[in-house]
């Protein structure tokens, strides 16, 4: 039986090259049981023209994945500006239940009620597409796709672009 794991030197090269793939940094927001939820993500890309769509790679243990699998979830993707690096620490870890993830920020609400952060490059409200059964998909992340239903633009600032030292971990 063949070993599917590369030797250490190859794994280091794989990690290096994956880390060199540029990605944006985005704050995903949604409402769940009348509470605001958030998730920082970098693995997001356009996934269609008609209808306009995006896809996000989501870790199997993330609350967003659970919410996306429960029905007709609508969510907002906030595209961070390069000048908003300070928000990364704030949204880098899940907020404990009962705490307001937007305390001290002046936010707006999208038509679905999800938070639109101030001064972002722009935002997109999306409707999640039905998810395939997770049990049949290997790996530590699943792909969630969403159709974009409405969007808005902010200042014409440069978007925040992210490179990692290694693409084998966060």
Domain ranges of the chain: 22-162
Q: Which pLDDT score, from 0 to 100, does residue 98 have?
A: 86
The SS3 assignment for 151 reads: strand
Confidence of residue 1 (pLDDT cuts 50, 70, 90): very low
**Contact (CB, 8 A) for 162 and 27:** no
**Between 10 and 125, whose confidence is greater?**
125
Q: Which pLDDT score, from 0 to 100, does residue 18 have?
A: 92
**Verdict on whether the full-model pTM lies above 0.85:** yes
Residues 6+ apart with CB under 8 A from 96: none
**Contact (CB, 8 A) for 27 and 91:** yes
Cis peptide, bond prior to residue 108, ω within 30 of zero: no
Q: Does domain 22-162 have CATH number 2.40.50.100?
A: no
């Amino acid at each position: 039986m063949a070993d599917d794991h590369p030797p250490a030197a190859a794994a280091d090269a794989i990690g290096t090259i994956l880390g060199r793939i540029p990605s944006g940094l985005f704050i995903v927001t949604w409402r769940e049981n009348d509470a605001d939820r958030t998730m920082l993500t970098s693995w997001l890309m356009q996934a269609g023209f008609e209808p306009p769509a995006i896809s996000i790679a989501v870790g199997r243990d993330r609350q967003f994945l659970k919410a996306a699998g429960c029905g007709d979830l609508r969510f907002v993707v906030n595209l961070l500006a390069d000048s908003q690096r300070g928000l990364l620490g704030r949204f880098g870890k899940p907020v404990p239940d009962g705490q307001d993830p937007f305390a001290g920020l002046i936010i707006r609400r999208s038509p679905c009620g999800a938070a639109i952060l101030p001064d972002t490059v722009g935002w997109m409200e999306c409707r999640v597409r039905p998810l395939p059964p997770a049990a049949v998909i290997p790996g530590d992340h699943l792909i969630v796709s969403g159709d974009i239903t409405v969007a808005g633009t902010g200042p014409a600032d440069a978007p925040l672009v992210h490179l990692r030292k290694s693409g084998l971990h966060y």
